Amino acid sequence: MPVIGVVMQKGGVGKSTTTLSLGTELGRLGLKILQVDMDAQTNLTQAVGLDPTKLTTSVFDLLMDPVRGVESAIQPTAFAVDIIPATLGLARAELILAGHVGRELLLRRALQLVRDRYDFILIDSPPSLGLLTLNTMAAADSLLVPLQAHIFALHAMAHLEETIALIQQLHPTVAIHGILMTMVDRRTSINQAVEQAARERYGNLVFETTIPFNIRLVEAPAVGQPIGIYAPSSSSAQAYARLAQEVRARYG
């Protein structure tokens, strides 16, 4: 029952999209999945069709009280995966918890109580290295890093590696187990160069599956459906389905 944190210190690279799409496809393989929204932007929460302004419990409650907050924070979705959703108020957690001892271990403590029930737990994280990302990293057994197929992405990757080196001093068990190329457009030579460089540098840490740039992935969250439901025959839905197979094999 691995806990996978989806992290990258940069917005718009496909973290939330990957958490949702991969989680749904793993669910369709018959695995029991929990997704956790650790981003106050609530993109993941909205993308499964929940209205963050109408939630009575969320990941915020869990952070305030990991032991008692976790059960009620878990909610089913229409897509056979469970979610611990976020509300906009999550941003306050950083302030409230500042100065609390062990504040980066709250999510870890909460998930330890429920992880036996799930085959995979996927955590979506915000684009900054604040308390919420630290909680994600501390709770995760391994990290999945989306790498946007863009010319500057390798710099971002180097930056993230520095960050993770630091985290590993605190939590030696967390490791990067996969780099995922997202928004790949093979027609451009820049894309090809980035992918080639990533594979040369990181070898088989880079998932064989790459996620193509596909406008359906922009549309799907707006209607609150995962890509595998919204456009099952699209190139991106099929890519995430292949990724689910690869992830199951890799972490299996």
What is the helix (H) or strand (E) element at residue 124, kind and residue range?
strand 120-124
Shortest Å, Cβ 125 to Mg ion = 8
Stretch that binds ligand ADP, among 11-19, 104-112, 160-168, 240-248 (CB under 6 A): 11-19
Q: Is residue 46 a contact residue for ligand ADP (CB under 6 A)? A: no
Among 221, 224, 226, 228, binds ligand ADP (CB under 6 A): 221
Among 60, 79, 207, 213, binds ligand ADP (CB under 6 A): 213
Spatial contact of 127 and 11, defined as CB atoms under 8 Å apart: yes
Question: Which amino acid is present at 67?
Answer: V
Spatial contact of 121 and 1, defined as CB atoms under 8 Å apart: yes
Question: Which amino acid is present at 18?
Answer: T
The most distant pair of C-alpha atoms in the chain lies apart, rounded to whole Å, by 52
Q: Is residue 228 a contact residue for ligand ADP (CB under 6 A)? A: no
Q: Sketch the per residue contact string, 121 through 160, with ligand ADP: x for CB under 6 A, - otherwise.
A: ------x---------------------------------
How many other CB atoms sit within 10 Å of the CB of residue 167? 21
Residues 6+ apart with CB under 8 A from 181: 147, 149, 194, 195, 198, 206, 207, 210, 211
Q: By C-beta, is 15 or 28 nearer to Mg ion?
A: 15
Per CB under 5 A, residues contacting Mg ion are: 15-16, 43
Residues 6+ apart with CB under 8 A from 211: 14, 18, 180, 181, 182, 183, 184, 236, 239, 240, 243
Shortest Å, Cβ 217 to ligand ADP = 4
The whole-angstrom separation of Cα 146 and Cα 248 is 17
Stretch that binds ligand ADP, among 74-82, 91-99, 114-122, 211-219 (CB under 6 A): 211-219
Stretch that binds ligand ADP, among 13-21, 62-70, 91-99, 154-162 (CB under 6 A): 13-21
The whole-angstrom separation of Cα 115 and Cα 137 is 16
Contacting ligand ADP within 50-69 (CB under 6 A) = none
Stretch that binds ligand ADP, among 73-81, 115-123, 166-174, 209-217 (CB under 6 A): 209-217
Among 4, 7, 14, 134, binds ligand ADP (CB under 6 A): 14
Question: Which amino acid is present at 135?
Answer: N
Spatial contact of 6 and 19, defined as CB atoms under 8 Å apart: yes
Token code pair at residue 50 = 């929940």
Token code pair at residue 57 = 């419990």
Among 4, 9, 16, 28, binds ligand ADP (CB under 6 A): 16
Q: Is residue 76 a contact residue for ligand ADP (CB under 6 A)? A: no
Token code pair at residue 223 = 């209607």
Shortest Å, Cβ 41 to Mg ion = 6
Contacting positions for ligand ADP (CB under 6 A): 11-17, 43, 127, 182-183, 211, 213-214, 217-218, 221, 236
